[in-house]
């Protein structure tokens, strides 16, 4: 990585590079990312050596209180080093990008719509823990409770790298709060994650390939519901990909965001094609129902979250639903490399 850093530094000093703003910007961003990585590694190395010296002194003096404290601090260093290792695995073309995350309800009616809202909270809590910012691009409320669907844009370095493997069907098993007889219900929701397309990526979209529909924004009522057709739905006819945005009162702003989402989806489609040619390990999208789930969240009769691709298990379901999903994400990144 040090050699790569030096190579990028040389390229940035080349005067011919200064006229190509896009390439220069991409290289500068990559240089800063590598520099941050190396700086963090150096700090952790210094902390580790310092703690090891103190550990020898504490051991010689039988200072059990200091030994316990140092063990905790060393574990924190280990966790940070583990995180750095995971970040080195995010070497895909789009792994450094911001991301869009869509959640759609599946089999289960009101139950699955409530599950979508629970998942929406899980991912936004994860964003808070990561100190990533996010905005709701589109949402459709359920008739009785929850959400039929929601789309969020997540801004943060490597957000797509972290979340790209979340695409698939997620299954919830619990005692239903909507069932007067307190029976156990199974609900399904599908997740799609795709990278944001920035100025460094060119995606060609032709006007003749688009169908643009306008409609009134939906919501809970009152001042949040537009009285004009400001919501936008864009369908890309060749690929049949459809996106929509209704988060703003301005139709123009909604259209810009929808086009941004469409470009991102088309770019992700190209990335998938490349990955399938090289690895043949990307699963096709399946029906949002029984037998197709990538992960199960079981709250009754026992408590466990299990990812069916890696067999990674977490016993604290409530912690996972509160955004603590890093262990699950890490296991997927390690498996894919």
Joined together, the tokens standing for residue 177 give 């709060």
pLDDT of residue 154 exceeding 70, the answer is yes
Other beta carbons within 10 Å of 4? 11
φ and ψ of 332, to 5 deg: -70, -40
Span 99-195+286-335: which CATH code?
A: 3.30.70.1660
pLDDT of residue 226 exceeding 70, the answer is no
Joined together, the tokens standing for residue 30 give 């990559």
Q: What is the mean pLDDT of residues 289-315?
A: 89
b/e map of 275-290 (b: 16 or more CB within 10 Å)? beeeeeeeeeeeebbe
Span 207-276: which CATH code?
A: 3.30.160.20
pTM above 0.85, yes or no: no
Whole-number pLDDT of residue 227:
57
pLDDT digits (tens, 9 = 90+) for 257-297: 999 899 899 988 888 776 675 554 334 445 565 557 899 99
CA distance 118 to 162: 20
pLDDT digits (tens, 9 = 90+) for 57-72: 998 988 899 999 999 9
Whole-number pLDDT of residue 337:
66
All structural domains of the chain with their residue ranges = 2-88, 99-195+286-335, 207-276
Q: What is the DSSP letter of 311?
A: -
Average per-residue pLDDT in the chain? 86
CA distance 122 to 219: 21
Whole-number pLDDT of residue 221:
46
Q: What is the mean pLDDT of residues 88-113?
A: 88
18: left (phi over 0), alpha (psi -120 to 50) or beta: alpha
Whole-number pLDDT of residue 82:
87
> Which one is predicted more confidently, 200 or 87?
87
Tell me how far apart the 2 most distant CA atoms of the chain are, in Å: 78
Whole-number pLDDT of residue 197:
83
Pairing, β 231-236 against β 147-155: unpaired
Whole-number pLDDT of residue 219:
59
SS3 180: coil
Report the percentage of the chain scoring pLDDT > 70.
89
pLDDT digits (tens, 9 = 90+) for 79-95: 889 888 888 888 788 89
Percent of the chain as helix, strand, coil, to the nearest 5: 45, 20, 30
Split at pLDDT 50, 70, 90, the class of 4 is: confident
Instruction: Looking at the chain, list the stretches that DSSP marks H as alpha helix, in order from N- to C-terminal side.
Output: 2-13, 21-60, 64-88, 110-130, 159-163, 251-278, 317-321, 326-335
> Which one is predicted more confidently, 129 or 2?
129
């Amino acid at each position: 990585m040090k050699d790569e850093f030096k190579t990028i530094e040389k390229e940035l000093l080349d005067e011919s590079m200064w006229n190509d703003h896009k390439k220069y910007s991409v290289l500068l961003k990559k240089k800063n990312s590598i520099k941050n990585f190396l700086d963090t590694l150096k700090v952790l190395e210094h902390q580790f050596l310092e703690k090891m010296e103190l550990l020898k002194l504490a051991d010689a003096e039988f200072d059990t209180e200091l030994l316990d404290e140092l063990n905790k601090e060393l574990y924190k260093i280990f966790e940070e080093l583990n995180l750095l290792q995971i970040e080195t695995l995010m070497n895909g073309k789009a792994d450094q990008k911001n991301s869009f995350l869509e959640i759609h309800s599946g089999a289960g009616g009101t139950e699955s719509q409530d599950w979508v809202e629970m998942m929406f909270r899980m991912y936004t809590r994860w964003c808070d823990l990561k100190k990533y910012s996010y905005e709701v691009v589109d949402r459709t409320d359920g008739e009785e409770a929850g959400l039929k669907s929601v789309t969020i844009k997540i801004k943060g370095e490597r957000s797509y790298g972290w979340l790209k493997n979340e695409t698939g069907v997620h299954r919830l098993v619990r005692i239903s709060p909507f069932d007067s007889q307190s029976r156990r219900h199974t609900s399904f929701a599908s997740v799609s994650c795709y990278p944001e397309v920035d100025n460094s990526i060119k995606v060609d979209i032709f006007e003749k390939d688009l169908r643009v529909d306008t409609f009134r924004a939906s919501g809970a009522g009152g001042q949040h519901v537009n009285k004009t057709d400001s919501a936008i739905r864009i369908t890309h006819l060749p690929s049949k990909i459809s996106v929509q945005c209704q988060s703003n009162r301005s139709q123009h702003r909604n259209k810009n965001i929808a086009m941004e989402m469409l470009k991102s989806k088309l770019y992700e489609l190209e990335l998938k094609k490349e990955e399938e040619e090289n690895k043949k390990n990307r699963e096709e999208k399946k029906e949002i129902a029984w037998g197709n789930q990538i992960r199960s969240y079981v709250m009754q009769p026992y408590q466990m979250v299990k990812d069916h691709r890696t067999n990674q298990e977490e016993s604290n379901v409530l912690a996972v639903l509160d955004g603590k999903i890093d262990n699950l994400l890490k296991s997927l990144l390690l498996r894919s490399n």
